[in-house]
Every structure is written in structure tokens, then in C-alpha cells.
A and B are shown apart, each in its own frame.
Chain A
């Protein structure tokens, strides 16, 4: 595929706001996880909670979009010059030519949960939403895409992608298609997911949540730590010969196996990784860093480690950063793409946090310790429920 320029990128997670906060915490090997203090009846687990969401309401002009997820979407737009980069793209191309493609798993369902906890008698006597929460735009998956469209004034194609935990990796693929097909000249992509009852109690019901901080690829790992995050990248058609970060390839596939368990041989994961490298025109040996999906569930990490060992040479540095941020679900694609882009730009190759003993299934690619080294290509894996897989290849021109 034609390379797509990454003009700006940013993430806000439990580690803090912006790229520097992510890089500093990786260098210091400081986790953002804390004991679960979310909600009235917190389950015994650890979470990656973003500081300050409760105290930073949306600007008045956007108050119709109020909810935790859109607050996080707004907070995450501020660092790293993202709003200025978006405005520059808008002026360069016209607002109709800049697309908005946002990924999320649960969008602002937290607001719907809150309404159900505070129902009032409606006009006909049946239970209805309280007045302050009877805002249709936030009780639907496109709350996120619609909010970002309003907040930025962009008027190109605008859509919310919701394929569970691969959502905000797939936004890069969709935006690349929009740009390469000529429907847009640039695209603001990203992902936001926020803590809510649905995911905490839902993943708990599936038996996938650890009571301790998650330990990706550890032989004693016993589940994930949930997190929340937001992040963005501004993509634009690349100019030949111009230096900078680029999206080089994307790969997407389905497992065709199970709604909430990965294919035992990682068939879909391998297809997505191969497809991404084929589109980028690169070989496995060319990849310098791979950010793994690495949720720390027994099944995901066993399958993913085996797939990576089968595809890549021992020289690859691969890791999961979920010990720092928790599993940010629909935001994992953008957050972990930001770690991959930091690796390309700064040579900071994260290891794995909290894990002491690598599982025997891991090849030499899976690294517990951080490393420093210049790399040419970085990759990111994101896999979701429904057997929905996506891999991205980023490079430096």
C-alpha cells in the first residue's frame, strides 16, 4: 500500500497525559495500575484509571456530550499539539476532506448504566431516564465519533468502529482506505474506552480478571487488569521523499472460532500479522519492535507467543505494555500504536512489567526487560472478541 504519514500522535492513560508521560513511565518501569476503586461495589482487582476525569467537565459548548468517555476523549485531545495539528490539517485540506474514524468497545455505556441506576417515572408512568441523562447522542456507540466530530469541526466521513479490543487498530486500516481511495486527504483516528460496570463485571463473569496486577506472558499469569485510555493519530497522504513516521501496512482477519476465546493455533492472529507485513512489503526479520496484544489471560498469551515464535526470528524484541496501562479494550489499538511509534522515534523498546518468569511457550522474542536501540519498523497487534484481529506496521521515512 501507499505509505500514510503520521503527522501527530498522542495517548492519555493511567500513566498520565501525553507521550512523554507514557515514555517516562516505561523508562522508570512505573505501573499505572492501582487497586480497584471504581464504583460502589469494587471487585477485588487492579485497574488503570486515568486521574482527573471526574474533575474536568467538558467545555460549555460541548456539554450535551457530557459523560466519562467523552471527557476522556476531550482530555486526550489536548496533549502533544494534537488539536493544533488537526486545525492545520483542516485549514490545509478543508474540513470536508478530513475524516474522523474512532474506535471504542463500550463508548459511553457508562452514562446508560448511570441512567438505569437513577430511573424516574416517565410521562406514561413507566421507568425513564432522569432529565439530565435523557440525551440520545450519548446512549449509542457513535457517541464517541459524534463527539470528536463536534469537538474538532471536521466534516469528512465520520464513523465509530466497534470491534471490541481491535477497534482502534482497525481505525488505521479504515482511514488508510479512505485516504487511498480519495474520499479524504487526511484523517483523525483514535480510540477511547473508559471504565464502567459493563466491562468490570462482564470480564469478571467470564473469569478473565486477575485479583493482582496483570502479569503478561508470566507462567503464573491469571488474567487481565482493566484500564481506560484515549489516544489519537493524525494521518495524511505521505509526500514522497519526506521524512517522518508512517503507517506502512495493516492486516485484518477473523478467527472463525469462538466469541470470547482465541483460535487455539492463533490462525487469525498469524493471518493478520502476515497480511500487515505483506501490505508493507517487509519481512519478519525487518521488524524491530512488536507490541503484543498480551492481555495476561492464560489463553491469549499462550496462543500469541506461539504465533510470534513461529513467524519471527529470535532477534525480534516483543512485549506487552498492559502491565503499565491495563487492558484499555477499544483504546488498546491506539495506545499501543503510540508505544510502537515512541519505539520508532526514541528507540525505547518496552519490556514487560510485573512478570517474573516467562511462560515456557514464549520464544526468545518475548522480552521482560526494557531495551534501547534504533529500529526501522515497529508493529502492533490487537485482537478482540468475536475473533477479530488487526496488526499494524509503522515505519520511519
Chain B
């Protein structure tokens, strides 16, 4: 049995020029981005003195996570969470490696604890007062598909709604030559079992590479340079009401996601 099912209760989204799921749906329909969109999200969950200096990864992850919970009508502190990022915060990795090469004894303790892959998950649970489990995962190009499987298997195991948050940041410095990623991109889903409002999602891990000759969607084109772009076929399908998205699951395998109105 390679299939897991759930219901999508809420969606959050952020990309350059598209600072909300509403803006993303508008863009998919019209091709227009938001003219005066902010350059980065303001993480309302953080204390005012932490908002400006929060790493890019934390800012985008917390923004889309909160938007998805709000859309789902779920109190954030009640949800277990899966945070997914191919590379984590690339600017912090660049800082750490550059500082270690020049003056290792001057490493900033704050930047060091922000360098962990679960930094966004940590700030989320602190900001929302959430005692529920949180995980942080990576599978390079297959990160979103593999994280979706983990989120769905949590829904199945415990029967509880689960928050899935995916994001990647802008690469800077020499690291960008081997781990390229452009712009800021985040997407979040609240997934739940049982009856209720929202799209039904049926995910099947299949043993072939994605062969459907899909026309690249508008979101996929818009944020193609970001390392989390492999999640965009699902968000494009959700935005236009398509019934199928094929996601790279790694090693020549595909996560086939069928969508249907609830």
C-alpha cells in the first residue's frame, strides 16, 4: 500500500511579488504580481526586536505557517509540524563557513544556534507556545514530496491535523555556485483526516519518473530558481483546480498527488 489520503484544511504561500495564497491564486488566474509587495515577510509571531533580524528562512516559514493555520481555522499551538527545506538558511551557512575560514573564534553564538536546520521549527513553537512535536527534514530536490509523506503518515498514525511548512532562501556567496537558490519561497498546508471542508488529497508513491508532459504552471515558472520549486506543481494545481500534481520523490520516483473537491 503506497497511498495515503488527507484533506487540505488551509494553505499558506509566499513568493517574491506574491505575498499570500490569495495573491498567488490571482497571479495564476491573471498573470499579475502584486506591485507593492514587501521584499520579505514580517514574522508577526516574533517579538518586535527579533522581527527585523530574524533569518530569511524563519521569516518566510513563520509567515506561511501562520497563514495556513488561519485559513484552516486551527489554533497553531495545537498542531504537530513538519518543516521542510532543501538547504536550510543559505545565508547563515555562508556566514558560518566564511567566518570559520577567516576568524573562527569570532563566530556569533546567535547565528550558530540559528544555523540548525530546525531553527524555523524552533521559532515557530516558541512563537506560538506550541508543545506539540516538530520536525525538520531535507531530501534535496525531493524534499517536499518526502516531507509530505511524513506529514501524511503523522495524520494517519495519530488522526490529528498536521502542519507542513516548506521553504528555501536566497543563496549568497560561494555556496551559491554549488547550491543555487534564488528569491524567497514558502508554502504551507494544514492536513487533516476525516470529513470536512477542503480539497481531498490522495498521494501515491510510484516507481517511475514523472512522465506526464505537464505544461509548467505559472507559479512554477515564477519561482523556478528557488530550491523549493519542486513543490510548485502542487500549488499550481491547487490554484487552478487541477486534479493531479506530480512531485519529484527522488531516485527516479514520483509522488503522484490526486486532488478532488471535498
Contacts and interface: CB of A to CB of B under 8 A. Distances in A.
Interface of A: 1, 41, 96, 105, 109, 112-113, 115-117, 119, 122, 126-129, 134-137, 139-142, 145-146, 149, 155, 157-164, 170, 174, 176-178, 180-183, 197-198, 201-207, 252-260, 267-268, 271, 384-388
Given A180-B157, A259-B114, A253 B133 contact: yes
Interface string B65-103: 000000000000100100000111000010011101100
Contacts of A140: 86-87, 138, 140, 179
A155 B139 contact: no
Contacts of B4: 181, 183
Nearest to B146: A159
Contacts of B130: 254, 256
Contacts of A134: 177-178
Contacts of A202: 96, 107, 109, 112-113, 115
Is the interface on chain B under 10, 10 to 19, 20 to 34, or 35 or more residues? 35 or more
Contacts of B42: none
A256 B205 contact: no
B174 A145 contact: no
Given A142-B140, A158-B251, 6 more contacts: A115-B97, A140-B86, A162-B136, A183-B205, A201-B105, A267-B131
A141 B177 contact: no
A181 B4 CA distance: 8
Given A159-B138, A181-B4, A181-B153, A385 B205 contact: no
Contact of B136 (A163, A178, A182, A271): A163
B23 interface: no
A197 B125 contact: no
Nearest to A272: B133
Most buried by A among B139, B146, B207: B139
A321 B250 CA distance: 37
Interface string B144-158: 001101101110110
Contacts of A141: 86-88, 117, 138
Contact of A257 (B126, B142, B207): B126
B158 to A, nearest CB: 9
A contacts with B: majority SS: mixed
A116 B138 contact: no
B106 to A, nearest CB: 8
A254 B115 contact: no
5 contacts: A177-B153, A183-B4, A202-B115, A204-B105, A259-B123
B174 A177 contact: no
Nearest to A141: B138
Contact of A128 (B117, B142, B174): B174
B116 A386 contact: yes
Contact of A256 (B88, B129, B143): B129
A388 B146 contact: no
A174 B178 contact: no
B131 A254 contact: yes
Given A139-B178, A256-B130, A205 B108 contact: yes
B137 A259 contact: no
Given A141-B88, A155-B251, A159-B150, A164 B129 contact: no
A260 B137 contact: no
A158 B132 CA distance: 24
B49 interface: no
Contact of B149 (A1, A157, A253, A268): A157
A320 B135 CA distance: 24
Contacts of A145: 138-139
A386 B119 contact: yes
A164 B120 CA distance: 12
A387 to B, nearest CB: 6
Contacts of A197: 100, 104
Contact of A183 (B107, B139, B142, B153): B153
Most buried by B among A155, A205, A254: A254
Contact of A387 (B2, B109, B126): B126
B65 to A, nearest CB: 13
